[in-house]
Amino acid sequence: MTTEVLPPLPLVNELTAPFWEGASKGQLVIQHCNSCGHFQHAPEPVCSACLSFDLGSAAVSGKGTVYTFCIPTQAFHPWFEDRLPFVLAVVELDDQPGLKMITNVIDVNPDDVKVGDRVEVTFQPLAEGFVLPVFRPVAQ
Amino acid sequence: MAKKNRVAIVGVGYSDVSRGTGYTLDKLTAQASVAAMDDAGIKPTDIDGVVVHSFPHQFVSSTHTAAMLGIPDLAFYSGNVDGAAYSVAAMHAIAAIASGSAETVLTIRTVHKDGAAGGGGPVGKHIAGNQQLSQPYGSFAGSHWAGMYMQRHMAMYGSTEEDFGTFAIAQRKFAVANPTESFFHEELTMEDYLNSRYIAKPLHLFDCDYPVDSSSALIFTTEERARDMKQKPVFFDSWANGTTKEADFSLVGDMTHSSPWMASKRMWSRTSLKPSDVDTAGLYDGFSFIAMQWFEALGFCGEGESGAFVRSGATTATGSLPTNTDGGACNVGRRHGANFFIEVTRQLRGTAGERALPKKPEVGVVSNAVGGFAACALLTAE
């Protein structure tokens, strides 16, 4: 008997819905304050910059820089067992200083990734219709 | 009217510690508490405060702990699941005693090996909350953010895997001299370190603390009461928490200047002591890079220079800052910060036995955690 191993999938909520809906349309969508224009990720019920509760979301450029990364070589979830090694990264987005997200960098030999590399968003199907925004090196 | 009391450590104790005790969290907690009371020479009726820090999924109640130990009435208690592990219990107890809310407080950190590091996500379930924005990328464990903190330091300052290995080797030397508590009895070579498998490159297996079942307990009281107790008291000179604006460890604004910098700055601002006055250190080593960040944050070396500092031999028994003289959590097992408070206390009061440092220390520093939250404290022998 074999059971299909699914990736970790989101239990979408009010705050995360724009991110996942955006990804399914090929857009990187980040929470955005309607009052002061501050982006924040991960999303929260209140804007940490101005304390407004009037929060929306907006598509961002999808361009950024590798702030840091590591190369997991041990799976902590069965989905990743035959996907090792991969690049787990924090990417700082161009759209606001310090706006960062946890992500993967794909389409690259993991050992060739460097802090400071320029990257751009791309989209990877997960399962059950979910799409994951990930990054790839910007062509030099 | 509130009063301000000087706070002393008067008792320390551990439970049985192993890879699998088979004991419940309550039994481990009771063992460590009884050991600390024996060390202090006091009875449950002498205690009027209990503070426990545990994980949400391994919760240990402070009031139940008191009941289990026959402590009749608590003037102060708290059961914490948030923040910088054992140091949270210590900070609460110090605040309670300094303010006069309680006189004699039992502080505890209990941890079961399995699941203690948040290893792995649930399989076949959808991920609630903001973890749905990290787990689909394969970010599950402390080793993941730890590898990323190391990488950032290496990129910013040119530090190398060998730098972190030098620290692992130095504290293993202390572990070898602590055979009753250490799980490792042979010195580590750089070859051993570099050949140990990666968990999340550049993070090696030997950068990680050693998962065990453990409970650790310390008893704090006022200076006045401490003077009449069995052990020579050790005093808190200064103490501080620090946090970053971002709670998520992977998303902190500056990984090479995370919460240890905030806590250190606050701690030094409240004392006349200086880094050059410190004779020994117990710096959290949940991952070896954490102790390295503390060397820099506490001002024992320049920014980015922790590798050179450790290579200089400063952290060895005969160096300027013998560090983690029990062997650290990488060797004595995961105590989530408590072992540093216990070992520095033993060194300062002169009960470290054969591990007593060649030059008797008068001032020690202890620390816990990194990233989103951290704490540190200065301890003095008088």
Domain ranges of chain B: 7-116+211-226, 140-210+237-382
The answer to whether position A26 is within a domain reads: yes
Contact A70, A102 (CB under 8 A): no
For the ranges A27-36, B60-69, B119-128, B319-328, which has the lowest average pLDDT? B119-128
Angle at B138 between CA B136 and CA B143, to 5 degrees: 145
Question: Quick check: B8 pLDDT over 90?
Answer: yes
Task: Give the three-class secondary structure for B330.
Answer: helix
Question: Quick check: B185 pLDDT over 60?
Answer: yes
Q: What percent of chain B has pLDDT over 90?
A: 95
Strand order in the sheet with A39-40: A39-40, A29-33, A55-59
- How does the average pLDDT of chain B come out, rounded? 96
- Asked if A45 and A85 sit in the same domain, the reply is no
Question: Quick check: B81 pLDDT over 50?
Answer: yes
Residue of B nearest to A80 (CA): B138
Contact A73, B201 (CB under 8 A): yes
Structure confidence at residue B120 as a pLDDT band (50, 70, 90): low
Query: Shortest Cα distance from A41 to chain B (angstroms)?
Result: 9
- Spatial separation of the C-alpha atoms in residues B367 and B381, rounded to whole Å: 17
pLDDT of residue B121: 62
- Asked if A77 and A111 sit in the same domain, the reply is yes
Return the CATH number at A101.
Answer: 2.40.50
- Asked if A81 and A51 sit in the same domain, the reply is no
Dump pLDDT digits (tens) for B253-293: 999 999 999 999 999 999 999 999 999 999 999 999 999 99
B140 touches chain A (CB under 8 A): yes
Question: Quick check: B3 pLDDT over 80?
Answer: no
Dump pLDDT digits (tens) for B224-263: 999 999 999 999 999 999 999 998 999 999 999 999 999 9
B81 touches chain A (CB under 8 A): no
- Asked if A25 and A47 sit in the same domain, the reply is yes
Structure confidence at residue B4 as a pLDDT band (50, 70, 90): confident
pLDDT of residue B217: 98
Q: Kindly determine whether residue B150 and residue A101, on different chains, have CB atoms separated by under 8 Å.
A: no
- Asked if A65 and A114 sit in the same domain, the reply is yes
Contact B296, B303 (CB under 8 A): yes
Model ipTM?
0.97
Of A20, A44, A24, A22, the residue nearest A32 (C-alpha): A44
Query: Shortest Cα distance from B212 to chain A (angstroms)?
Result: 19
Structure confidence at residue A5 as a pLDDT band (50, 70, 90): confident
- Asked if A67 and A135 sit in the same domain, the reply is yes
Class of CATH domain B140-210+237-382: alpha beta
* Topology alike, domains B7-116+211-226 and B140-210+237-382: yes
Query: Shortest Cα distance from A37 to chain B (angstroms)?
Result: 19
Q: Which of B130, B153, B199, B258 to mutate to test the interface with A (most CBs of A within 10 A)?
A: B130
The answer to whether position A5 is within a domain reads: no
The answer to whether position A89 is within a domain reads: yes
Question: Quick check: B181 pLDDT over 70?
Answer: yes
Mean pLDDT score, B191-206: 98
Dump pLDDT digits (tens) for B135-156: 999 999 999 999 999 999 999 9
- Spatial separation of the C-alpha atoms in residues B198 and A46, rounded to whole Å: 39
**pTM score of the predicted model:** 0.97
Question: Quick check: B71 pLDDT over 70?
Answer: yes
- Spatial separation of the C-alpha atoms in residues A38 and A54, rounded to whole Å: 11
The answer to whether position A134 is within a domain reads: yes
Structure confidence at residue B118 as a pLDDT band (50, 70, 90): low
Q: Kindly determine whether residue B138 and residue A88, on different chains, have CB atoms separated by under 8 Å.
A: yes
pLDDT of residue A139: 80
pLDDT of residue B1: 46
Residue of A nearest to B134 (CA): A102
- Spatial separation of the C-alpha atoms in residues A125 and A116, rounded to whole Å: 26
Query: Shortest Cα distance from A14 to chain B (angstroms)?
Result: 10
What is the domain range of residue A34?
A: 13-59
Task: Give the three-class secondary structure for B148.
Answer: helix
- Asked if A90 and A140 sit in the same domain, the reply is yes
Contact residues, chain A, for B140 at CB < 8 Å: 76-77
Contact B371, B252 (CB under 8 A): yes
The answer to whether position A2 is within a domain reads: no
- Asked if A97 and A129 sit in the same domain, the reply is yes
- Asked if A116 and A89 sit in the same domain, the reply is yes
The answer to whether position A52 is within a domain reads: yes
Nearest-CB residue to A126 (from B121, B136, B144): B136
Q: Kindly determine whether residue B147 and residue A71, on different chains, have CB atoms separated by under 8 Å.
A: yes
- Asked if A22 and A71 sit in the same domain, the reply is no
Contact residues, chain B, for A98 at CB < 8 Å: 253
- Asked if A23 and A73 sit in the same domain, the reply is no
Query: Shortest Cα distance from B75 to chain A (angstroms)?
Result: 36
pLDDT of residue B5: 87
Amino acid at the residue B293: Q
Dump pLDDT digits (tens) for A86-138: 999 999 999 999 999 999 999 999 999 999 999 999 999 999 999 999 999 99
Q: Kindly determine whether residue B199 and residue A73, on different chains, have CB atoms separated by under 8 Å.
A: yes
- List, as one string, the DSSP characters of chain A: ---PPPPPEE---TTTHHHHHHHHTT--EEEEETTT--EESS--SS-TTT----EEEEE---EEEEEEEEEE-S-SSGGGGGG-S--EEEEEETTSTT-EEEEEB-SS-GGG--TT-EEEEEEEE-STT-EEEEEEEPP-
- Spatial separation of the C-alpha atoms in residues A64 and B262, rounded to whole Å: 28
pLDDT of residue B2: 47
Q: Kindly determine whether residue B135 and residue A77, on different chains, have CB atoms separated by under 8 Å.
A: yes
- Asked if A43 and A80 sit in the same domain, the reply is no
Count of CB contacts below 8 A, A vs B? 134
Question: Quick check: B368 pLDDT over 50?
Answer: yes
Q: Which fold has domain B7-116+211-226?
A: Peroxisomal Thiolase; Chain A, domain 1 (3.40.47)
pLDDT of residue B114: 81
pLDDT of residue B122: 66
Total domain count, chain A:
2
Dump pLDDT digits (tens) for A27-83: 999 999 999 999 999 999 999 999 999 999 999 999 999 999 999 999 999 999 999
